Structure formats: structure tokens, C-alpha cells
Chain A
Amino acid sequence: MRVQRLDHRSAPEVTDAVDLSRIESLIEKYRGRKGSTIPLLQGAQDEYGYIPREVFNHLALRCGIELSEMYGVATFYAQFRLQPVGRYIIKVCHGTACHVQNANKITDALVEALGVADGETTEDRLFTLESVACLGCCSLAPVMMIGEETFGKLTGPEAVKIVKNIRIKENEARGEDAPSI
């Protein structure tokens, strides 16, 4: 069932400071409009990358939507996240075409290389690994998407190499030596 996607008990408590003024214009746009729960949550997620607890409270207060209703909606749809995500979200396609072309191997290789389970974020908050239903690039199967870029006809080692290169670039940008992943 859909809500099983969630497991917060094991998730670490997030203590990021949340600047609520960033969603002021969003609230102004949708407040009082019927059917606005989903656009409000989508807008908030666009702003913060996930929906922090404070934002739920704030939206409830400002827009008069019940907390329980918002939580129900947020946990129903696959799109919403209640935990912060990495700078890069790696979406590994597990559509039918990718499945028959062995998408599991891509996920397995990335799980091993990144040291996180499917759906989790690396400790340095650089990568979040996700499985998605279908990216619609079936002819390039197996496929993964990082940011806006899609990588097709992958193998496990190739996928790991792509991710490794991103990490090296990021570390260079920060002037650190690249640790192995």
C-alpha cells in the first residue's frame, strides 16, 4: 500500500533551520482557493527540496488546512518527501522496459557504491538514490536520471562511474581530495 513508502522511525531527526518567508508568495497565491493542498505542498517542496515539519504547521496556520489532511495527502503521493534530499537525486528507472533490461543491477551497483539503501541520502547530502516507475525513455533502457540529465543503455559499473565523476567534481569545487566511494 502507498503509505508504506514511509519509515520515519529509523530516519534521523532533521534540525535544519527553515526560513518560512520563502513560501509567502506561494501562500498568497493559493490561500482560500479550493483544491489547493497539492499545489501548496508541491510549491513548498520546490522551495526546500522536501517538506519540513515547520512548513506543515505554518501552512495549517496560514491556509486553514487540517494538518492530518495535509499529512494524508503528502504521504499518499510518491512525489512528496518528508526528509531532506541530496544535491543530486539519482532516479533509477524501474519501468517494464528497464526491468527486462536488468535495471536491478544498476540499483544494486549504486547501493553498494554509495553505501545507502534505495530511497536514502548519503551522509554528506550529495546524493539521494531513488527508484522511479518510468521515465519514458524506454528505448534507451536501462536508464537513470540525475538532475535534468538522462543516461541510457547503462551497466552497473557505468552508472557508478558517472556518480563517481560527479563526486570528484564536487570535491574539486570545494578544494578537497576526492575520497573513494
Chain B
Amino acid sequence: MPRQSEPMEKTKVIVGLGSCGIAAGAGKTYEKIRQLRESEGLDFELKKTSCVGMCYREPLVEVIDESGTYLYGEIDEARAIELIDKHIVNKEPVRELVVQSDLFDTPDQEFLGSQVKIALRNCGYIDPESIEEYESRQGYASIRKIAEDGISREQVIRTVLDSGLRGRGGGGFPTGLKWRFAFNAVSPEKYIICNADEGDPGAFMDRSLLEGDPHSVLEGMIIGAYAIGATGGVIYCRAEYPLAIKRLRIALNQARAKGYLGQDILGLPGFHFDIYIKEGAGAFVCGEETALIASVEGERGMPRKRPPFPAEAGLWGKPTNINNVETWANIPWIISHGPEAYARYGTEKSKGTKVFALAGKIKRSGLVEVPMGITLRDVIFKLGGGIQKDRKFKAVQMGGPSGGCIPEHLADTIVDYDSVNATGAIMGSGGMVVMDETTCMVDVAKFFLDFTQKESCGKCTFCRIGTKRMLEILIRITEGQGREGDIEKLEVLAQEIKNNSLCGLGQTAPNPVLTTLRYFRDEYEAHIRDKKCPAKVCKQLLTYTIDPEKCTGCMVCAKKCPVQCISGERKQVHFIDQEACIACGECFSRCRFDAVIVN
């Protein structure tokens, strides 16, 4: 992929330093390369960037020299030495480590091939701590265009409306319409909020975006502020994302210094706007608009009744417009490329692209941005490379605790708001967790209910107590104490919680149970009637026995058994005392001869 068109002066070595890269050891890799440059007196430019999305190949190091670009994967310290020696010193690229190049094909080609990068256009390509690098890739060109061409506020809103962009936080409400409501509200003070309280377990799109390209989010907010006439902006970011917050602070200071924030921005008379960061304190319900506002105001983050909507009375009672990180990042691109260019991607009702965090039992996990309308199958098998260990694909979870599991037979569902909703799941903010035959769907439902039950703010009775009762039933089922009638009880409770909860958390909390009941009812029945867990996950439903044909009498299992319930002499077949066995699975994981059978 060609990066910059300016004449090549020096070889560039760029290390990906996003949170996941750092977790995989990219910081050490960077340090090693820096040391080598010093100690060997090598002449190349060493730079940092953020996540390009290939989490499964971290740490990533890109080398750009006169011959082309080479993105190297899995470069730990030892490989960094090899890489510098071969590629930089001897000018011989290490082809077997290249995951992406503009010169030749690689097996990882497909991961990037089907992607269309709009929101992530700069992630992995620029140094997120440099405003100049953002500007060099058309950064802040959109707000400049608005100022220079005198584009009116109505026109900006019309452009966003025409693009068809819908809220990327999961709600899917048309962004332009939301802006128009806030625009129409009359008040000397108005606010813009960026929702960066990414609470879905299994989702990291917003984190990567903020870490990789904070200025695109700021520019989106500045454009939004201009359009609706906002005087103040807030980024509500999870405190669990320290790197994102650090880079946002740097970006804010740079934007202020360059006059993109402040008084009479870019000479637009009367356009005064600044943004500050508010660190969230860990509450999933704060993803809900009114709860988020309460939290910014320093209170318990509990949702309130709507109307009035935030567009009329939001933060401090003033008209407020809230959009999610990814939504904001799309805005500058839409302004500079025009609404038609954006609407060219996608389906009739869902335009543009969507970023997904691919994780779970998938070969290539990472961050992808795909045009709406692509099938789930393509995302999982083409981009994601299929299931780990080539096991059988069972389901994909979308929408986190508010979403559901889409089974294998619906894998040709296309990615758009309405098609995903029809399956019972939701598009959500973009978490996609892939599950295989070794994942128990009752256990997954229990996992999400456990989450929502803990995260319920407690305001609505049905959400507070109903989720608790559902969880109790699910725990019982997974512990082998399920009873006839449990499934029906779950369904009744689910409906009641949906109908009687004020906010999205409660209204969607039963979704993981409802979708698994819809598509995997037989698994629930196996747990309840046969006291079996078909995926062999629920501990209390498993029995361990030893296959006399395979047992070599090595005694490893007997030594490792925490309750000493395995008997047998050396070189004799061993035996598990079922009465004493606690089904911990230690023998199963220790046996090197596959002699322990689990049922």
C-alpha cells in the first residue's frame, strides 16, 4: 500500500504502538530498534504509529524504503535484530515475515483486501501524536473548506443527512437528523458530547480510533459544533483507556495551538468552541445518553425519562448532541468527499462502512472496517481467515450484552442495521465475537446476564430484579439443577424486562438469552433434561473417565488430581472415582495420551 507520495529520502521504520501492540511487546521492539540504530550508527528514520488493525500479527513493524513498503508481523526483540540486520544493513527484505507489501502477494492480503477505510483512514498510517501528520493526510481540510467556502450550517447538516450516516454507537439513529434537532433548539449555550465510554466487553473500536487518530474525532466534533452552534464540547472517555486519554490531551493542545479550537475558529465569526475530557469511572449504563449526561454532571449515572431529549435539554439543561467516536471520525471524510461518495457504500438503509472488532475463536482477530452489505460469512472467513484450529463455526455474537448470537445457518446475513436486527441481535457498536463448537451457548447467555445484572443501575424494578432472577435460573441450568418450565420462565421474564425498563440497558438485556433460546434451544434442553453440556463447558455436567485402551499408566493424572481420586499403579490402567471427582478437568488437560474422556 503506497503511503506518501513525496520523494523518498530516508528509509523509514515504523512501529505500531497501540494498546494491543504494546501488550504484545511492541514497546520493547521499538526500544530494541532504537538501541540498534544508536549502537550500529544506522541511518533510518524511526517512527511510531498506532493500530493498523492486524492484532493477530502484533507487534507490527513497517519498513518503507526506495523499493517499496514491507509490513512485518510478529516482530519481537530477537526478530527485530534479524530484521534490522537483513533489511536495513544488508538491504535484503525478510520475505517470510512480511504480512503486507505493495510489491508481492502475502497470505494476509485478504485481511486488508476487502476493507474500505473511512473512519480508520489514518489509523496505522500516521503518528497519532503529530498534528502535522494528520494535516498531511487532508486533516482539518474539511473544517477549513467550510470556513473558506462559507458553507452554511444548514448545508453541513444537509450533507450529513444526505450521506445516510447513522449512529455508530449501536442505536443507528440518523446522525444528520439528530444534528437538526439540536440545531433547531434555541439557546445561547449548546453542547456536543463524544461518547467514548466503550463498555461492551469484547469491543475495542473506539479505543483504537482514539489511540490511532484522535484528530479525526476532534475535527468531526468541531464540524458538528459549527453545525448545531455548540459552545462547549466534552469527550466522555473510559478511564480504562489511559493511552487514548493521553493522546487526546496531546491532540487537544495541538488543535488549540493551531487555532482549530478557541475563539473565532478559522475566522468564522462568533464560532467559539473548546473541548475537554471527562474520564468515566466504570459504569456500562453510562453509554446511555441521559446516564452519560448525569455522569458528566458528577452524579450517579442513572438514566432519566425522555422526552425531553438531550437535543432539547441535555447537559446542564442545555441542548446537547451526543455521538459516538466512530460517528465523529466519519464526519470530516463525508464533508471533504461529499455525501454521495459515502452513500455509494452500503445498502439502501445503511450507508457507508462499519468498524468491527473481530475476536474470539477466529484466526485473524483485529480491527476491520467493511462496507455495509458485506455478509457475516465474508467477514469471518475471508477477512478473519476462519475458525482457530479449523474447528466448526457455531455462532457470532454481535452487539455485546445488548445483542445476540447469530448462528452458523444465518452466516449469509448481510451487515446492515435492519438485517442484523431481524436475527434478534443488534449491530451494536461493533463487537464481533466468534464462537466455535467448544463454546456453550447457555454459558454465553449466563455470562452476559451476569454482566447486565451487575451493571443495572437499579432504577427500574424489572431490570434490577428481573435480570437477577434470569441469572439465577441460568446458573441453576448450568449447574445441572435445571427444571422443566425454566425455559418458559426465562421467556416470560425476558419479555417483562424488555417492556418495563426505561433505558436501552434493560430493554436489551434479555437479548443474549432470547437469541440463544431461539437458535440453540436444544442446548438448553440438553442441560435441563439430560444434564449434559454438549459443548463440554459446564463443569458440573461433565464426567471424566479413563480409556483403558489409551492409558499408559504414567501416573501424571493421579499426581495432579487435587482430590486424589485417581488410583492405579505405574504402567497399570488408572481409574477415576466418580464419587470423589470434582470435575476440575486437571487430568484431562494433563494427559498426554488423550486417555481421559470427558462426557
Asked if chains A and B come from one complex, the reply is yes
Q: A-side interface residues toward B, CB under 8 Å? A: 1-5, 34-39, 41-42, 69, 72-73, 76-80, 94-97, 99-101, 132-141, 143, 150-152
CA distance A72 to B23 in the complex (A): 35
**Docked-complex contact B365 and A138, CB < 8 angstroms:** yes
For A34, the chain B residues whose CB sits under 8 A away are 297-298, 316
**Docked-complex contact B20 and A100, CB < 8 angstroms:** no
Return A104 CB to nearest CB of chain B, in Å.
Answer: 9
**Docked-complex contact B281 and A139, CB < 8 angstroms:** no
Known A72-B300, A77-B281, A139-B359; 11 more pairs at CB < 8 Å: A2-B283, A2-B457, A37-B298, A39-B298, A79-B281, A99-B201, A133-B451, A136-B241, A138-B433, A151-B23, A152-B23
**Docked-complex contact B202 and A97, CB < 8 angstroms:** yes
For B360, the chain A residues whose CB sits under 8 A away are 96-97, 100-101, 138, 141
For A41, the chain B residues whose CB sits under 8 A away are 281
| B204 adjacent to chain A (CB < 8 Å) | yes
Contact of A42 among B239, B316, B451 (CB under 8 A): B239
Q: A35-B298, A96-B202 are in contact. Are A1 and B359 (CB under 8 A)?
A: no
| B541 adjacent to chain A (CB < 8 Å) | no
Q: A34-B298, A97-B359, A100-B360 are in contact. Are A1 and B464 (CB under 8 A)?
A: yes
CA distance A160 to B316 in the complex (A): 48
Q: A34-B297, A79-B281, A96-B447 are in contact. Are A136 and B457 (CB under 8 A)?
A: no
> C-beta contact mask, B301-342 vs A, less than 8 Å → 1, else 0?
100000000000000100000000000000000000000000
| B193 adjacent to chain A (CB < 8 Å) | no
Return B276 CB to nearest CB of chain A, in Å.
Answer: 11
Return A78 CB to nearest CB of chain B, in Å.
Answer: 3
Closest to B295 in A: A38
Closest to A97 in B: B359
Scoring B199, B279, B282, B457 by chain A CB atoms within 10 A of each residue's CB, the highest score goes to B282
**Docked-complex contact A76 and B240, CB < 8 angstroms:** no
Return B469 CB to nearest CB of chain A, in Å.
Answer: 13
| B299 adjacent to chain A (CB < 8 Å) | yes
A-B contact pairs, 5 of them (CB 8 A): A2-B457, A3-B458, A97-B359, A137-B55, A139-B56
Q: A95-B201, A134-B201 are in contact. Are A150 and B365 (CB under 8 A)?
A: no
**Docked-complex contact A73 and B299, CB < 8 angstroms:** yes
**Docked-complex contact A138 and B202, CB < 8 angstroms:** yes
Scoring A78, A79, A97 by chain B CB atoms within 10 A of each residue's CB, the highest score goes to A97
**Docked-complex contact A2 and B456, CB < 8 angstroms:** yes
Closest to A41 in B: B281
For A80, the chain B residues whose CB sits under 8 A away are 281
**Docked-complex contact B22 and A150, CB < 8 angstroms:** yes
| B19 adjacent to chain A (CB < 8 Å) | yes
| B24 adjacent to chain A (CB < 8 Å) | yes
**Docked-complex contact A141 and B359, CB < 8 angstroms:** yes
For A141, the chain B residues whose CB sits under 8 A away are 359-360
**Docked-complex contact A96 and B400, CB < 8 angstroms:** yes
For A152, the chain B residues whose CB sits under 8 A away are 23-24
For B110, the chain A residues whose CB sits under 8 A away are none
**Docked-complex contact B282 and A78, CB < 8 angstroms:** yes
**Docked-complex contact B284 and A133, CB < 8 angstroms:** yes
| B203 adjacent to chain A (CB < 8 Å) | yes
Closest to A74 in B: B281
Q: A34-B298, A138-B204 are in contact. Are A143 and B23 (CB under 8 A)?
A: yes
**Docked-complex contact B296 and A35, CB < 8 angstroms:** yes
**Docked-complex contact A77 and B283, CB < 8 angstroms:** yes
**Docked-complex contact A133 and B201, CB < 8 angstroms:** yes
Q: A34-B297, A72-B300, A136-B241 are in contact. Are A4 and B433 (CB under 8 A)?
A: no
For B198, the chain A residues whose CB sits under 8 A away are 136
| B115 adjacent to chain A (CB < 8 Å) | no
**Docked-complex contact B203 and A134, CB < 8 angstroms:** yes
**Docked-complex contact B298 and A38, CB < 8 angstroms:** yes
CA distance A102 to B485 in the complex (A): 30
